Amino acid sequence: MPQVRVRFAPSPTGFFHIGSARTALFNWLYARHTGGVFILRVEDTDQARNSEEFLNLIYNSLRWLGLNWDEGPQAGGDFGPYLQSERASVYAEFLGRLKASGRTYEKDGALFFRISGEPQVIEDAIRGRVERTEEKDFVIVRSDGKPVFHFVNVVDDISMRVSHVIRGEDHLSNTSKHTELFKALGAPIPVYAHIPLILKQNGPGKMSKRDQGALVEEYQKRGFLPEALVNFLCLLGWSPKDDREKLPLEEVVRLFDLPGVNQSNARFDEKKLAHMNMVYLHEMAPERCLVLARDFLLGRSYFAGGMPAEAYLRDVIALCQPKVRAIEDLPGFIGYFFGEDFATDPKAREKVFAKGDPKARLGELLAALALADFSSDAALETLVKALAEEHGAATGDYIHPARLAVSGTAVGPSFYGLLRVLGRDRVIRRIGRFLATA
Ligand code: GLU
């Protein structure tokens, strides 16, 4: 079988959204599954709506998602240039061929393509047999001299030797125009695979760039894990045909095929994405989590008052990683590790003072901590257990008031880890302050 060549062909006329990312991903998966070539082609013929910013967003988003392209801008390849704005000579050459075939004519300054009027039948790799007949000749070069989308799209697929056109279902209705052009140019027709739409989370209709949660850049800014987003996108229209949801990408590459893509539309589900992101976060190596968390926090100027020591930050992040749902929850979760002026939750305080004698327990703990081994959670746990036994109390009688004293809240990471990471000086100072003001 000849080598598979697929392309992702975005137009840099807007923000990079989930639907585009999914189309790019399915092309990438098919290329990797078949050992083929993944081409990035930029359809930037609409000069009025193109922007450099949107173009860079395409590159950045694809890179962030890990969808590296084999041919295209910044990657090179034998069939370039890969920006349509640089391919005028290719279009002129193909236009010459089409004119020579006698299938074009001019009217009102525009150049029209004369359709055959025959039914256009494709065997779509996802949707099966689709038949459609064009009824009207259509413009291929506008009166201002600019070739239109249908023409340049087909010319590029021919000249870049694209074997499979995997794109959104919104292009299905264009396909009969395209096959008319392929035939008129004497070129083989690629295999088509039209991916079903992504429906918006609530209500009917297709998800649009304006819908909540639609932009890839937003997830990047919010510290989402790209591998979680990619896993989520794989499941928007494809599944491994069992109940699994979290799948290593290598396995998706192995299993992915076009007939396995659903014919029915997929619904976007932000909760499912958030959950996937959490699962990935909790399984991630602490070293990588540290890098992502640090970048995220720096991006939000979190350490404007001074960068903490590397080892301390590492310990804080490692301790909190299993406890937060997302990187973006960290700022609200770790504040008391980096400053003394944290607030005390009044509800948690009320609860602590509702029974027993928390001040007496804290006094006992304070005395014991002066000589305690802070190097391991186990040592601190042993110490608290011994205290409880000695005073006929429960460990919780120490843990709840002490957590409140050192962090101001009843929720947080493991208690012994909390003490260990804060360290003896901070813990003793904070408990002392709490006792003085309680
Ligand atoms: N530039 C078109 C789009 O962004 C691509 C169409 C195609 O993939 O053939 O929708």
- Which among 302, 337, 372 is the end of a domain? 337
130: left (phi over 0), alpha (psi -120 to 50) or beta: beta
* Closest listed residue to residue 334, CA positions, set 216, 398, 420, 418: 418
Asked if residue 144 is part of any domain, the answer here is no
Q: Which amino acid is at 230?
A: V
* CATH number assigned to the domain comprising residue 406: 1.10.10.350
Asked if residue 315 is part of any domain, the answer here is yes
Asked if residue 350 is part of any domain, the answer here is yes
* Closest listed residue to residue 194, CA positions, set 269, 131, 261, 240: 261
Residue nearest to atom 5 of ligand 1 (CA): 9
What pLDDT, on a 0 to 100 scale, did the predictor assign at position 413? 98
Pocket test for ligand 1, best of 18, 171, 173, 208 (most atoms within 8 A of CB): 171
Q: Are residues 350 and 429 in the same domain?
A: yes
Q: Are residues 385 and 427 in the same domain?
A: yes
What pLDDT, on a 0 to 100 scale, did the predictor assign at position 1? 74
What pLDDT, on a 0 to 100 scale, did the predictor assign at position 204? 83
Q: Which of 146, 177, 206, 209 is catalytic?
A: 209
* Closest listed residue to residue 267, CA positions, set 216, 213, 200: 200
Asked if residue 398 is part of any domain, the answer here is yes
Name residues contacting ligand 1 (CB within 6 A): 9-11, 43, 153, 165, 167, 171
CA 49 / ligand 1 centre spacing (Å): 15
What pLDDT, on a 0 to 100 scale, did the predictor assign at position 42? 98
- Ligand 1: which atom is nearest the Cα of residue 7? 8
Q: What is the pLDDT along the chain (438 residues), one digit of tens a residue?
A: 789 999 999 999 989 999 999 999 999 999 999 999 999 999 999 888 889 999 999 999 999 999 999 999 999 999 999 999 999 999 999 999 999 999 999 999 999 999 999 999 999 999 999 999 999 999 999 999 999 999 999 999 999 999 999 999 999 999 999 999 999 999 999 999 999 999 998 888 888 888 888 999 999 999 999 999 999 999 999 999 898 999 999 999 999 999 999 998 899 999 999 999 999 999 999 999 999 999 999 999 999 889 999 999 999 999 999 999 999 999 999 999 999 999 999 999 999 999 999 999 999 999 999 999 999 999 999 999 999 999 999 999 999 999 999 999 999 999 999 999 999 999 999 999 999 997
Q: Are residues 366 and 320 in the same domain?
A: no
Asked if residue 83 is part of any domain, the answer here is no
Pocket test for ligand 1, best of 39, 43, 178 (most atoms within 8 A of CB): 43
Token pair of 271 as six digits? 């909760």
Handedness of CA 294, 411, 395, 391 (dihedral sign): positive
Distance from chain centroid for Cα 324? 19
Q: What's the half-sphere exposure (Cβ side, CA atoms, 13 Å) at 287?
A: 0
CA 84 / ligand 1 centre spacing (Å): 12
CA 155 / ligand 1 centre spacing (Å): 13
Token pair of 45 as six digits? 């013929």
Count up the domains in the chain and report the number: 2
CA 148 / ligand 1 centre spacing (Å): 12
CA 12 / ligand 1 centre spacing (Å): 11
Tens-digit pLDDT profile for residues 176-233: 999 999 999 999 999 999 999 999 988 888 888 888 889 999 999 999 999 999 999 9
Residue nearest to atom 4 of ligand 1 (CA): 10
Q: Is 209 a catalytic residue?
A: yes
Asked if residue 49 is part of any domain, the answer here is no
347: left (phi over 0), alpha (psi -120 to 50) or beta: alpha
What residues contact residue 295 under an 8 Å CB cut-off, 6+ apart? none
What pLDDT, on a 0 to 100 scale, did the predictor assign at position 210? 81
Residue nearest to atom 3 of ligand 1 (CA): 10
Pocket test for ligand 1, best of 41, 49, 153 (most atoms within 8 A of CB): 153
CA 10 / ligand 1 centre spacing (Å): 6
Domain membership of residue 323 as a residue range: 284-337
Q: Are residues 418 and 362 in the same domain?
A: yes
Asked if residue 256 is part of any domain, the answer here is no
32: left (phi over 0), alpha (psi -120 to 50) or beta: alpha
- Ligand 1: which atom is nearest the Cα of residue 9? 5
Q: Are residues 356 and 311 in the same domain?
A: no
